[in-house]
Structures are given as structure tokens and as C-alpha cells.
Structure 1
Amino acid sequence: MRSTPVVNHLLRLGFREKADDLTPLKIQKLLYFLHGWYLAVTGKPLIEEGFEKWQYGPVARGVYDALKRYGSNPVDDYIKDFDWETGEETAHFINPETVPQFSDVLEAVWKKYSPLTGAQLSTLTHLEQTPWSLTEMRERIDDELIRKYFVDQANAKRNASAETPT
């Protein structure tokens, strides 16, 4: 699926919660974590364009192009596309009924990662053995590498909680 409707869902959630730090950097990283966890849960990519390795972490180029006018400032509006039927700029969103488990994964990712800054999220993508660290600069990060990484993260968390005494 296209990345802009997914980003618009992230923005909708952020606007509803009055988040004032949704910079393009933070949105890119939230989108990456959403894509990664969606891959881990469903085995299918959430966005078709994928991510490239850039200096500050994974980047979906189409999202970068759509948000670059904000620089390091918070994004204050949805990404709009030209609608050929109406002749107007329109913000598109996902119909959650057509994308199984999207809403659940979105809520979980938002809860876990939205309290962090864009810089903190970028740092998480730069850890050793992350898909970003295993990819050459400006190359596309392989979705299977992303899926495996997030599945491993889920398994590690599951194993750690199983070892914790109650």
C-alpha cells in the first residue's frame, strides 16, 4: 500500500493526542517501526515503497518528499494528494477493515514509541545488528531483514518475560 495514507493515520493519532513533536524525522521513524512490527505480526509489508538507509535512519523517500518542506519543524497537516475525480487536494487514509491488524499494530507502536523524540527513535534504528546497520548507505533495506529483526525482538521480549519470576 502507499505510504501516505499510513502516515496520515499516524498524524491523525498524533493530532488527536495533541502531540506537538511530530517532526518529519519522528514520523519517518514511527512509520519504520509500524512497518517493522506489521511485518512481524502479519508477514506482509505495510507499505510498498519500503525504506532506504539514510544518515539518520530508515527513510521512505515518498514520505521524505511529502514532508521535507517542514524541515525540523512539527508537521501540522495531513499529506494531501491530487484527486483526479474531484480536482482537489485530498488526504487519504486506510480503511482499517481492509488491512487486517493495522489498528492494533498502530496503537501498540504509538504507545511504545511516541513518547520518544525523533532523535531517540533514530538512535534505536542505529543499534548493532539492526536492519539499518546491516544495509549499505542509500540502499533499500530488505523487508525480510526488517521482518526477521522485529520477530526476533518479539521473541526476546517474550523469553525475558517468561524468565521473570511472578
Structure 2
Amino acid sequence: MHSCFDVAKYFLAQSSEDAGDLISNLKLQKLVYYAQGFSLALSGRPLFDEHIEAWLHGPVIPALYHHYKDFGSGHIPHPVAFDLGIFTAQERELLDEAYEFYGQYSAWRLRQLTHDESPWRESYREGSNQVIHRDSMTRFFQTQVVH
């Protein structure tokens, strides 16, 4: 199994500063969340083990947040020496589709999308970072995929 950092680096490696396609910590959190959700729905398996919590601004992987928090709301640069080959062809397809669809949105738009979805809505408690359970994500994301 991969780590949330592997998935994050995959998305960061896809971004293009020249095209104005920049990824902030907030946007990265949402992209990694969506990748995990679609993996659960399509394969029945998580892409990574780290838990996701319902924070004020949507789903967050705490370890990933703390790793990149020094960038603030600025963009995170491309990873150095990252091997995309650690992912299977099926995983790369899933990640590419998630990035193609959700990568077009701003961080704030992705935040709004997650606020309208049941995994975050059912888990969020003001002032308390609650875990978003995988079964909740699986149920929701299964309604979002075309079989």
C-alpha cells in the first residue's frame, strides 16, 4: 500500500507552473481525498493507510497537512526524484482521472464541493476533528461512479 505522501507527490508531479496549474495544501488535501474515495468505491481498497479527518475547510489528512503547512496558501513545488512507477497502471488511471476532473477546480471550489458531500457533512463537528470513516466514503463514492 502507498502512503498519502505518494499520492500527493503523484498529483504534485502532474501540476504545471507554466500553465498556471498550481496546487496549494488545501487543494492537495482535496485531491488526495477524492483519490482515496474513488479507490474505495472502484476497487474496495484504500490507496493509503493514513486516516482522513473532517476539518473546518473539508477533509484533511493530518500528516499530509503538517508536512506541507509551511507553504501556507501558496503553491507546493514539484517533488524531487519521484518515481511514478510505484503505482500500478490501474492506480495511475484512477489518479489521472481524479486529477483531470478535480484538478481543474480551485482549492476553494473543492472545499465547497466536499462540504456538500455526505462523508464530510456526517463527520464534521465544530471544534473537533473527527475521522471520516472509510465505509462512509465508500458508500458515497459508489454513488459517484459509473459502473
TM-score, length basis structure 1: 0.78
Work out the CA distance in 2 between the residues paired with 1:50 and 1:19.
30
Root-mean-square deviation over aligned CA pairs = 2.1
Work out the CA distance in 2 between the residues paired with 1:118 and 1:132.
16
1:58 is aligned to 2:49: no
1:144 is aligned to 2:135: yes
- Say whether the 8 Å CA contact 1:131–1:146 is kept in structure 2: yes
| Alpha carbons of structure 1 residues 114 and 27: separation in structure 2 relative to 1, 3 Å | same
1:133 is aligned to 2:121: yes
Rg comparison, structure with higher value: 1
Higher-strand-fraction structure = 1
2:144 to 140, 148, 153: 153
Give the length in aligned residue pairs: 143
Work out the CA distance in 1 between the residues paired with 2:51 and 2:98.
18
Work out the CA distance in 2 between the residues paired with 1:123 and 1:116.
10
- Say whether the 8 Å CA contact 2:58–2:111 is kept in structure 1: yes
**Corresponding residue number in structure 2 for 1:13:** 14
| Alpha carbons of structure 1 residues 152 and 3: separation in structure 2 relative to 1, 3 Å | same
Could you list the per-position Cα deviations for residues 52-108 of structure 1 after superposition, in whole angstroms to 9, with x for gaps in the alignment? 010000000111011000000011142x8xxxxxxxxx75656123xx621111111
Work out the CA distance in 1 between the residues paired with 2:135 and 2:50.
14
2:87 to 89, 96, 121: 96
Could you list the per-position Cα deviations for residues 97-149 of structure 1 after superposition, in whole angstroms to 9, with x for gaps in the alignment? 3xx6211111111111111000000101111x510000143011000110110
Question: Where does structure 1 differ by over 6 angstroms across 4 or more consecutive aligned residues?
Answer: none
Q: CA deviation at 1:32?
A: 0.6
Work out the CA distance in 2 between the residues paired with 1:92 and 1:52.
28
Work out the CA distance in 1 between the residues paired with 2:85 and 2:55.
27
